[in-house]
Structure 1
Amino acid sequence: MTTRSVRRPRRTLQVAGASVAALLALSACSSSSDSGSDSSPSTKSDTSSATPRLSGSITVFAAASLQESFTTLKADFEKAHPGTKVNFSFGGSDSLAAQITSGAPADVFAAASPKTMAIVTDKKETATAPATFVRNQLEIATLPGNPDKISSLKDLTRSSLKVVLCDRTVPCGAAAQKTLAADKLRLTPVSYEQDVKSALNKVVLKEADAAVVYRTDVKAAGSKVAGVEFPESADAINDYPIALLKNARNPAVAKAFIALVQSPEGQQVLSDAGFLKP
């Protein structure tokens, strides 16, 4: 009896020991599996941190004719990237280029002609090569209903008409001069304006009978003016280049905004505004 009572506990201990060993083996496998599953979220986290969310503000210097379409793109961009802000400085491209080369803080420059962009690139103020993203064509803006019956560029030479042009140094002014020279027309405007919006506004305020502006500006003005197309404008179409600036304070956000401008969505907004495809 004593021998049996001794052997039975040994068998029990051996069985228990085997059970413990099995449990330990299962636990080890489980730990290894858990460790593997833990590494996956860690990898995802590392990947996520490699592409941080965009934040902060940028300043875009842009030709005055881009005001309406770029303002629409700003709203789209800020909605898609919460925490970002796009600020604009609109004006004549030559004036904006001069400000940039004089040290004005800006992240992006969108000009209304390669010539005005060259003012900036010649000073090595760009971080990327300028890329043409749209084109624009001239049109005559008249008073609503076109009461003076203007139908051609030649009509603007009538002495009875008060006509406004953009300054020769501004892309819209240079293009206007090119069309006038091609037809050997001489025109003395009542004023030369520093940007296309200022020229258009003279007609909107009825301070002028007509102005040579961009078709996009005529469209943006709606019923405030009437538009008259003229065939010579096809020979003076302006390419619009855009570039990241060398001293951009927020290049990541600036590049993302440029990408939106060049994207199908951005191109649709610009096309709806009347711009031509590059």
Structure 2
Amino acid sequence: MKRFLPLLAVLSVVLAACGGYSETARSETSDGVKCPTGTPTALTILAASSLANAFNEAKEKFLVNQPCVSDITFSFGSSSTLATQIVNGSPADVFVAASQTAMETVTTAGVNEGEPTVFSYNRGEIMISGKSDFVDSVFNVADMRDSANKGIRVGLCVSSAPCGSIADKIIEKSRKISKASDLVRAAFADTEAASAEELVTKIEIGELDAGIVYHSDCFSSERKGLVQCREIPLSLNATTEYAAVALKNSAGAQIFIRFLLSKEVQTLLNEKYGFYNYDQ
């Protein structure tokens, strides 16, 4: 399976791509990257829903003293759904996916400009609603079965979504360890959500008792006092990579991807939103 470019290699590629405009260009970014002559352009970015809060905050930092880009419009959703939209012609400048599978849907179709850049990753975690009667009786994946806690309402992302793919891998590993025959998606999940954002909301408001979400989701929601979370041991866990790719050959798109690799954004993602830096 094709791997994405490592960080240092990407930096050199992006620098070359962003610096390749005419010497008559009138403006440049704070680090010397030249922009094409003319009015700054607006970017449309399709990104995984789990990045919504982090990206909305990062947007304000990005646009400060940014002569190449006038504004950013985000569209958040399931990575697999967004990938299908892009392949079917949905206009966008950058795609940010939460799985290699979703990214490969786009790159295989040949609608990208350059190679994807991996900038972060995530793991699975159990989230339990603060409104649930089962908050003191769920400590591992096996505890989320109805046979272990009668009447518990469990949600998972659909298998085609990255958060659902992670859940399936975690459930499979847990089933092998516990030898519990009812530890399967069909018997396990009462509700399937289209995206991580949808699943987290249902748990936060108490519509669901528990679910398998991203570590970053737990990191944010637990701080707000809405949920409790349980770590899943690394031996039973699974990871997913976050990668960005330009869909148009524009300075703005390349500069945004480079921005994701900056210390400022890496610190924001890790310390405030609970994403893992790629070199961790």
Asked if TM exceeds 0.5, the reply is yes
Distance 1:80 1:233, change over 3 A: farther
- 2:111, 2:56 → 1: CA distance? 25
Which residues in structure 2 correspond to 1:28-39 (within 5 Å)? none
CA contact (8 A) 1:93 1:116 kept: yes
Is 1:241 the equivalent of 2:243? yes
The size of the alignment, in residue pairs, is: 231
Instruction: Pick the aligned partner of 2:61 from 59, 70, 76.
Output: 76
Separation in 2, partners of 1:199, 1:178: 18
| Deviation by residue 1:1-36 (Cα, 9 ceiling, x = unmatched) | xxxxxxxxxxxxxxxxxxxxxxxxxxxxxxxxxxxx
Q: Answer 1 or 2: which has greater helix percent.
A: 1
**Cα shift at 1:255:** 1.0
Written as runs of structure 1 = structure 2, the 5 A alignment for 1:150-169 is 150-158=138-146, 159-169=150-160
SS in 2 for 1:240: strand
Deviations 1:99-129 (A, max 9, x none): 0000000000110010110110010011011
Match of 1:92 among 73, 78, 95: 78
Question: 1:168 is matched by which residue type in structure 2?
Answer: S
Deviations 1:60-101 (A, max 9, x none): 110000011111110101123166101100000000000000
For 1:121 and 1:95, the matched residues in 2 are separated by 15
Q: Tell me the distance in 2 between the aligned counterparts of 1:122 and 1:62.
A: 18
Alpha-carbon distance change, 228 to 145 in structure 1, aligned in 2, over 3 angstroms: farther
Quote the residue 2:178 is aligned against.
none
Whole-Å Cα distance in 2 between the matches of residues 131 and 193 of structure 1?
27
Q: In structure 1, how many angstroms separate the alpha carbons of the residues matched to 2:142 and 2:234?
A: 11
- The structure with the largest alpha-carbon Rg is 1
Letter in 1 for 2:238: A
Q: Determine the structure 1 residue equivalent to 2:194.
A: 194
Q: Residues 121-163 of structure 1: CA distance to partner in whole angstroms, max 9, x if unpaired?
A: 0100110111211000111111127641211111011342100
Across the aligned residues of Structure 1 and Structure 2, the Cα RMSD in angstroms comes to 2.1
Partner Cα distance (1:137, 1:181) in 2: 15
In structure 2, what is the equivalent of residue 133 of structure 1?
119
Q: Secondary structure at the match of 2:120?
A: strand
Deviations 1:195-253 (A, max 9, x none): 001111111121110011111112222211111111157641111111111xx2x7111
Q: How does 1:1-278 map to 2 (within 5 A)?
A: 51-52=34-35, 55-81=40-66, 84-144=70-130, 147-148=133-134, 149=136, 150-158=138-146, 159-184=150-175, 185-186=183-184, 187-221=187-221, 222-232=224-234, 235-245=237-247, 248=248, 251-272=250-271, 273-278=273-278
Q: TM-score, normalised by structure 1?
A: 0.77
Q: How high is the sequence identity, in percent, across the aligned residues?
A: 31
Structure number with higher strand proportion: 2
**Structure 1 stretches of 5 or more lacking a match?**
1-44
Provide the C-alpha distance between the structure 2 equivalents of 1:232 and 1:183, rounded to a whole number of angstroms: 11
